[in-house]
Chain A
Amino acid sequence: MIKVFTVDDSASMRALLLHALTGHGFAVDQAEHGLAALEWLKDNEPDVIITDINMPKLDGFGLIEKLRADERHRDRPILVLTTESSDEKKARARAAGATGWIVKPFDAEKLASAVRRVSH
């Protein structure tokens, strides 16, 4: 079973993601911001990480940069899921090492398809 780890400060968004991803057969763990995600990732190795950008404490850009600097997570697929639509933010995510960019509101089928593609 593909293990997905989602990072989003919105409880509503976490609930939607949990429902959508478990409904497509993925195992899901979640964190509410970048710092909590880093803590969880010290002891866990998900197949795919899905992260929001705008979060307190440590945002999505910072999370991606820290993970790419860590040998354990250097090649782990990281999908950004965000309300941001600017090319500048997308380019910044790409430069930080993101694997892909998904604009909210997400479509469960497209999200599940993207998770399967990047996890192989």
Chain B
Amino acid sequence: MTIQRPVSDGLKRLSVMQGNVEISRATDVMMTTVLGSCVACCMFDPVMRVGGMNHFLLSEPGPAEGSVKVDEHYGVYLMEVLINGMLSQGVRKQSIKAHLYGGANLHANMQKIGSANAQFAQDFLARENIQLFHMDLGGTTARRVDFIPAQGRVRCRVLKEQVEVARPVLQRPATDRGDVELF
């Protein structure tokens, strides 16, 4: 669900929730999200002045103690939706500059789900030859990310105080995944 609300600086805020992807070239839009163990990838093309953001959590605790299972299918899907959205705006894949944020391990006694998300995101960009322009990943605190897509400007603030980060959805619905329709 995306919430759009104007504020006093004239920028419309688009909240990018977990599992969502937003693309925009509007000069009056700021995308914003709060991240704990989730990762957000911001992509920007300085030539076309188009940007986009996704927000994902790919990992869940594995059956073995201390292990973390990464759902690569879902991650590749969300990254592909972001890239295709950029391409549909006339962007060339080679021009994309990416930023990665989040991937914190908020609780010391929990498995390192944030680290697994962060590693997936970095590996994905490397495999796809997409330039990683900046990243702020890991640590033990939540972050707020504000991204102006038409300018490629990102502000990432570490949230020092205890904040309520939306509980990640660890299990995604599997029923509609990969449905096949034969013509």
A interface residues (Cβ-Cβ under 8 A, vs B): 9-13, 15-16, 54, 56, 79, 83, 90, 94, 98-108, 110-111, 113-114, 117-118
Contact = CB atoms under 8 A, between A and B. Distances in A.
A100 to B, nearest CB: 4
A56 B129 CA distance: 15
A103 B178 CA distance: 5
7 contacts: A12-B128, A99-B182, A103-B179, A105-B73, A105-B77, A107-B174, A114-B182
A100 B127 CA distance: 28
A12 B182 contact: no
Most chain A beta-carbon contacts within 10 A, residue among B77, B79, B81, B176: B77
A40 B88 CA distance: 27
B124 A117 contact: no
Interface in B67-110: 72-74, 76-77, 79-81, 83-84, 87-88, 93
Nearest to A109: B178
Contacts of B74: 105
Nearest to A110: B178
A104 B114 CA distance: 24
Interface of B: 72-74, 76-77, 79-81, 83-84, 87-88, 93, 124, 127-128, 174, 176-183
Given A56-B93, A107-B177, A13 B80 contact: yes
Contacts of B83: 10
A104 B80 contact: yes
B76 A16 contact: yes
A12 B180 contact: no
Contact of B180 (A16, A54, A102, A105): A102
A105 B178 contact: yes
A106 B73 CA distance: 7
Contact of B84 (A83, A102, A107, A117): A83
B182 A117 contact: yes
A98 B77 CA distance: 22
B181 A100 contact: yes
7 closest residue pairs by CB, A with B: A107-B178, A105-B77, A105-B73, A106-B178, A100-B182, A114-B180, A12-B76
B181 A101 contact: yes
B84 A54 contact: yes
B180 A104 contact: no
Given A16-B72, A111-B178, A83 B183 contact: no
A113 B174 CA distance: 16
Contact of B127 (A15, A102, A104, A106): A15
A10 B76 contact: yes
Nearest to B71: A105
A107 B127 CA distance: 22
Contacts of A79: 180
